[in-house]
Amino acid sequence: MSYTVKFQPRAAKQLTSLPRGARTVVAQVVDALAEQPRPSGAVQLKGTDFLRVRVRDYRVVYQVNDDILLVLVVRVGHRRDVYRSL
């Protein structure tokens, strides 16, 4: 069963602002979330419904809704910035 991956507007803008090499790798990881929304490297963020996946020095923060098969990407960014004001 395949999930639909959607981006919040802020996350889509953050993805497009990444350097080209990082953007390609992050986009591949996000595409893979459609098939496996909870890969082995995914970690549940404490106190939230969000999960995160590491991609080099970047993080993808997302939420999974199993009822409607949706992966909602909330944030994409460098590890030093992505967790601020979650």
Whether the Cβ atoms of residue 41 and residue 52 lie closer than 8 Å to each other = no
Domain ranges for the chain: 4-78
**Residue 1 confidence (pLDDT) above 90:** no
Distance in angstroms (rounded) separating the CA atoms of residues 1 and 78: 31
**4-78 is classed in which CATH architecture?**
2-Layer Sandwich (3.30)
Query: Mean pLDDT in the chain?
Result: 96
pTM of the model: 0.94
| pLDDT tens for each residue of 10-51 | 999 999 999 999 999 999 999 999 999 999 999 999 999 999
pLDDT for residue 49: 95
| Closest to 72 (Cα-Cα) out of 2, 26, 5, 16 | 5
